Amino acid sequence: MAEIIDATDATFQAEVLDSSLPVIVDFWAEWCGPCKQIAPVLKDLAEQYEGRIKIVKVDIDSSPRVPGEYGVRAVPTVLAFQDGQVVQQLQGARPKGDFVEMAEKLV
């Protein structure tokens, strides 16, 4: 079963920017309802694209530095990274198709 990795300010560089795979990062918070709505979608993506895309979650409350660096002002914000660069961004609870489309652009 594919794993969603929890990254922090301390591990973001290694997990996301230095990753050999493209990475989809979910900036979320425990108190965020829409974040909970998209969680199962991201879990599906982690399984569907296992070995081809890495799915990472960053809790903005426990790791505020990285979201600040990327201008995250609302959650959920989902960023797609390729070779350490942001290539796409989605905000809010979106249809599953939007996330699948994001993933397809990365593979």
How confident is the model at residue 94, as a pLDDT? 96
pLDDT band at 1 (very low <50, low <70, confident <90, very high): low
Helix (H) / strand (E) element for 77: namely strand 77-82
| Residue 33 annotated to the active site | no
Reduced to 3 states (helix: H, G, I; strand: E, B; else coil), residue 76 is: coil
| Of 16, 24, 32, 53, catalytic | 32
Q: What is the mean pLDDT of the chain?
A: 97
How confident is the model at residue 2, as a pLDDT? 78
Per residue in 53-63, pLDDT tens?
Answer: 999 999 999 99
Structural domain boundaries, residue 13: 5-106
CATH code of residue 86: 3.40.30.10
What residue type is 9 in one-letter code?
D
Reply yes or no on whether the pLDDT at 27 is more than 70. yes
| Residue 1 annotated to the active site | no
What residue type is 23 in one-letter code?
V
Count the domains in the chain.
Answer: 1
| Of 16, 35, 53, 58, catalytic | 35
